[in-house]
Structure 1
Amino acid sequence: MKFLEMIVPMVLAISLSYIVGKYDYFPTMSRSVSATPYDYFVFVQESPSVFCLNNTDCKPPPPIFTIHGLWPSNKSGYIGNCSGDNFNISVMTSDLVARLNDSWPSLKRSKENLDFWKYEYNKHGKCSNDLFSQTKYFEHAWHLWNKYKAHDLFSNHSILPDSPHNYSTLEKAIRSFINGCKPLLRCKRNATNQYLLEVRICFDKKANKPENCKGNTDCKQTLDVWYMLQPIDTRVN
């Protein structure tokens, strides 16, 4: 009996060691755990004037497209509320803050710019913390905006703001600057018109190379789309 009491634990230990080594079913505490799996990024710009249409909680809208977010995504959609360190204002440099104040402002009177960045980072940004630190995340979003400003892309295609356009004209203008990849345009409507609210450009897993966006537009492609940079007069029809 004493022999069996000694040999059985030894056999079990050897067997368990073999299983762990062969199949790796039991991860160790030292193994790094990656962020929530994501396959691509969605870079979202929005028209402040359209965002502020029929919105009483709005600051005077700047006449440009501004950043809404940079969202890690997978086939299930946008990833949010991941584990990891939350937004930390102390790591934001004064230069970065100045650039974000211009490119990524909060459009709501009730929310400061800092509150908006904190919300976006805690909900989306930290889901890519295996790729970007907090400062690198915001710096990269700014660089994408600086390269792919929607208002500049339209201007470079001689598309004038504060006027209606065919949906395909707007989409093709964006495509021409992202290697023919499909962007995703989103609209906002009132009783008489639909307005271009967002331009979404999708990028690969490193947020560098444009790729086709998934999903379909909510704009009615048979109707004109108003591309607006100035505050909207709801009497326009």
Structure 2
Amino acid sequence: MEKLWICLFAIFLFIVANAALRELQLEPEDTKFDHLTFTQFWAPEACRSIDPRCKFTNVSSDWTIHGLWPTMGNTHGPAHCTNESFNQSLLTADMLKFMDKYWITYVKYEPNPSFWEHEWIKHGTCAVDGDKTEFLNQKSYFQTTINLYNKYNISTILTKANIKPGMSRPLDDFLNAFKTSEIGKTVRLDCNGVFLLDVEICFNLSLQPIDCTSPTGCSSKKNVSYEPY
């Protein structure tokens, strides 16, 4: 009889746990991912397109971080994997100074820390894995993202391929610029109409670049415009 009660209690706990996960839309299998997507905005176009109230004079004339996202297949997810809140005090002064310049919001009246909080809660909570030194905790998630930004400089990559702000070039020219760079893989581009908006670089779980497989968000039938500052 005791074994029966133990068994019934274990089943009860399983049911309760799964009910809680369903309420949070976090089924156990939904927290899995097979690679990471690192997305960067081209600041001038992001400013113009994301919020009409964005003041371009207050925006860095550079590529800026959107986020580092656990990804499964062609889906940017999982998301919202734990209830760990964002804690800015875990980040160093140097990290915050960098992020205030290169990890910025384009929504007027939204402070940068609100954007970081969003990225942490939606994506960072899924990336954290106690077995991976890059994502041991909240601080390492943000530091790893900063390191990737510094390592793969999109402005430098495009300039080496003679693609500069103010130019309009075929989509393949942009893709080849990344393939022949230190990335050496197919990236994914997004456009706002014909204007280049962001670039996604894909990484395996060891943070080595891999080919992105999601369809590009820019037309191959029209030149892609790399807006000036």
TM-score, reference length from structure 1: 0.78
CA 1:179–1:49 in structure 2 vs 1: closer, same or farther (change >3 Å)?
A: closer
**Aligned pair in 2 of structure 1 residues 34, 205: CA closer, same or farther (>3 Å)?**
farther
Aligned partners of 1:116, 1:179: CA distance in 2, in Å?
27
Tell me the secondary structure at the aligned position of residue 200 of structure 1: strand
Shift of 1:76: 5.7
Gaps (5+ residues) in structure 1?
1-8, 17-25, 231-237
Task: Write the mapping of 1:145-160 to structure 2, written as runs, cut at 5 A.
Answer: 145-160=149-164
Alignment of 1:24-63 (within 5 A): 36-54=31-49, 55-60=51-56, 61-63=59-61
Letter of the aligned partner of 1:49 in structure 2?
Answer: P
Asked if structure 1 preserves the Cα contact closer than 8 Å seen for 2:35 and 2:71, the reply is yes
- Report matched runs for 1:35-184 at 5 Å: 36-54=31-49, 55-60=51-56, 61-75=59-73, 77-79=75-77, 80-130=79-129, 131=132, 132=135, 133-184=137-188
Residue 191 of structure 2 is aligned to residue 187 of structure 1 = yes
Deviations 1:116-150 (A, max 9, x none): 10011111111011141111111111111111121
What is the letter of the counterpart of residue 118 of structure 2?
Answer: Y
Higher normalized helix content (fraction of residues): 2
Report the CA distance between 1:180 and its aligned residue. Answer: 3.1
Q: Distance in 1 between matches of 2:138 and 2:63?
A: 23
More displaced stretch, 169-178 vs 121-130: 169-178
Give the Å deviation of 1:98.
0.6
What is the distance in 2 between the residues matched to 1:35 and 1:220? 32
Partner of 1:203: 203
Question: Structure 2 vs 1, CA of residues 116 and 216 (structure 1 numbering), >3 Å: closer, same or farther?
Answer: same
TM-score between both structures, scaled by the size of structure 2: 0.80
**Structure 1 contact 161–229 (Cα < 8 Å) conserved:** yes
Q: Conserved in 2, the CA contact under 8 Å of 1:64 and 1:229?
A: no
Cα distance, 1:83 vs structure 2: 1.4
* Cα drift, residue 187 of structure 1: 0.4
Deviation at 1:173, TM superposition (A): 0.4
Residue identity matched to 1:203: F
Percent identity over the alignment is 28
The amino acid across from 2:37 in the alignment is V
Instruction: Note the aligned Cα RMSD (angstroms).
Output: 2.4
Select the structure of larger CA radius of gyration: 1
Tell me if the contact between 2:184 and 2:209 (Cα under 8 Å) persists in the aligned partners.
Answer: no
SS at match of 1:45: strand
CA distance in 2, matches of 1:155, 1:127: 34
Moved over 4 A (4+): none
Contact map agreement 2:201 2:212 (CA 8 A) in 1: yes
- Separation in 2 of the partners of 1:135 and 1:195? 34
Provide the secondary structure at the position in 2 that maps to 1:70: strand
Which amino acid is the alignment partner of residue 157 of structure 2? L
Kept in 1: contact 2:188–2:212 (CA 8 A)? yes
Verify the 8 A CA contact 1:186 1:219 in the aligned structure 2. Answer: yes
Structure 2 regions of 5+ residues with no counterpart? 8-13, 18-27
SS of 2:70's partner is strand
Which one has more relative contact order, counting CA pairs under 8 Å at least 6 apart? 1
Distance 1:229 1:137, change over 3 A: farther
| Equivalent position of 1:19 in the other structure | none
Contact 2:60 2:102 in 1 (8 A): no
In the other structure, the counterpart of 2:24 is none
The SS at the match of 1:43 is strand
